Structure 1
Amino acid sequence: MTARPHRPTRPARVPAGASTAGDGVAMGSGPVIVDVYIDFLCPFCKAFEEAAGPALARLVAGGAVSLVYHPMGFLDELSTDRYSSRASASSGCASDRGRFVEYAHALFADQPPEGGPGLTDDELVEVGRLAEITDPGFGGCVREGVYLDWAAHVTETAIERGVSATPTVLVQNVPVPANAQAILTAVLAVARSRR
């Protein structure tokens, strides 16, 4: 008798703006799908977002891509308080308020070092203020861990798809180097192939 492969369980709730599969936050409606797997504790993800984030934003604004961020709890073991999962969950709260990208940028700007405690829940709420989240319900969402099961779902689904490091970028399900030029080249190649 063969064991069936593990299927991630769908969380009870997904954030506003979630991808169709519920395992990320989607923006834009372009024809080429770009999936970006990140962890808010990952210094390489911070560097990637600083370098490639503006180019990704231009591709979304120009209608070229549908961009899906998958905020993983991949590096939970590199903090003393499951910071990756808590930060991922709080980004879901930000997505509910239409401020996912701004909040993600603020989280990376205030990124704690690996190996110690991450930001506290109160500090995660404060980062929301830096991202101009004014809804008073945001704090409760973060402190109650409303999206912790969603963060687990994002992580499990990514691992099941073979994601083993962050940042990982896929263009139409094909891995590409995590830099703006490689992503743009891949997006243009897909667009040309469809003409």
Structure 2
Amino acid sequence: MSEKNREGKRTARERLAEERERQKARDKQRRVILVSAAVVGVLALAAVGGLLAANAGDDDNKKETAGPVVAPKGASGDDKLAIPLGKDSAKSRLTVWEDFRCPACKQFEDGYSSTINELAAKGQLKAEYHLATLIDGNMGGSGSLHAANAAACAQDAGKFAPYHDELFKNQPPEPDDAFADNGKLIDLAGKVDGLVTDTFKKCVNDGEHNSWVAKSQEAFGKANLRGTPTVLLDGKDIFADQRNPVTPQKLKAMVEKANQ
């Protein structure tokens, strides 16, 4: 084979490799757009369902939330109803209202959690998670309450973020109240290194933070928010403009710019 032919084949291979990389980049961008669009679309429906749930109340869980309000360790904000992630020195604040049974919340977490965790780890973003129980009120059951309590127990152990992510990764279908089973919640905690201890299991089984979760849900109702997830970056709803939502890439760029 002549040197010219070898060079031609090498160049062709390089062109093919470059085109593959460009296609990968286009595919990745398309997935991001689709995820953001899906979140916005689901949120439009969740706004109605969430408000119905907020108005429906949660009579079935009143007995479980009748005890004293015990906030998890490190909780912050008004009445200590927020679970913080990240450093106080971060220049950007992300406020997230979520329900562990909420499909739209899972859509949001699937698309944005890695970016949020990355920015928090860099000290550029402080996230504050508020837990709600809208789906319990709308669909019946107690999975939202029990999952939120378990997440608060994980916060006591300093492992809220990884357990929070595991709950969304393993979210059951909306009508399935699987998270009402404390045994399942403890099994999922086994996916987080060092979380399952006697203290954690007792906290979950005793519903130690149930009344705190109920107070958080009450605050959600009083805030007149449209549904879950509600996500505010420095006080502004990132999904307010459904034609131009804040994608994970835009979120990262906005936070990095604020921290310059």
Alignment deviations for residues 60-100 of structure 1 (CA, whole Å, 9 cap, x no partner): 11211111111211211344422111111110001001111
Check conservation: 1:39, 1:73, Cα contact below 8 A: yes
Displacement after TM superposition at 1:165 (Å): 1.2
Match of 2:189 in 1: 128
2:216 is the alignment partner of 1:154:
yes
Match of 1:139 in 2: 201
Distance in 2 separating the partners of 1:41 and 1:182: 27
Output the TM-score relative to the length of structure 1.
0.84
Distance in 1 separating the partners of 2:223 and 2:167: 26
Q: Which runs of 5+ in 2 are unaligned?
A: 1-67, 240-245
Displacement after TM superposition at 1:50 (Å): 1.6
Mapping of residues 1-195 of structure 1, within 5 Å: 12-21=69-78, 22-29=80-87, 30-119=90-179, 120-132=181-193, 133-177=195-239, 179-184=247-252, 186-187=254-255, 191=258
Alignment deviations for residues 146-174 of structure 1 (CA, whole Å, 9 cap, x no partner): 11111111111122222221111111222
Distance in 2 separating the partners of 1:171 and 1:46: 19
Distance in 2 separating the partners of 1:160 and 1:77: 16
Check conservation: 1:78, 1:114, Cα contact below 8 A: no
1:161/1:188 CA distance change after superposition, 3 Å: farther
Of 84-93 and 73-82, the range deviating more from structure 2: 73-82
Alignment deviations for residues 80-134 of structure 1 (CA, whole Å, 9 cap, x no partner): 4221111111100010011111111111122111123223011111111112213
Of 161-170 and 75-84, the range deviating more from structure 2: 75-84
Distance in 1 separating the partners of 2:102 and 2:250: 20
Distance in 2 separating the partners of 1:164 and 1:75: 14
Distance in 1 separating the partners of 2:138 and 2:201: 25
Match of 1:7 in 2: none
Check conservation: 2:99, 2:131, Cα contact below 8 A: yes
How many pairs are equivalent? 182
Distance in 2 separating the partners of 1:180 and 1:54: 9
Distance in 2 separating the partners of 1:70 and 1:183: 19
- Please state which structure has a larger fraction of its residues in helix: 2
Distance in 1 separating the partners of 2:73 and 2:247: 28
Displacement after TM superposition at 1:135 (Å): 2.2
| Counterpart code for 1:100 | F
1:78/1:126 CA distance change after superposition, 3 Å: farther
Distance in 2 separating the partners of 1:16 and 1:167: 24
| Counterpart code for 2:111 | A
- Percent identity at matched positions? 28
- For residue 40 of structure 1, give the secondary structure of its aligned residue in structure 2: coil
Distance in 2 separating the partners of 1:184 and 1:19: 24
| Counterpart code for 1:42 | C
> How large is the RMSD of aligned CA atoms in angstroms?
2.0
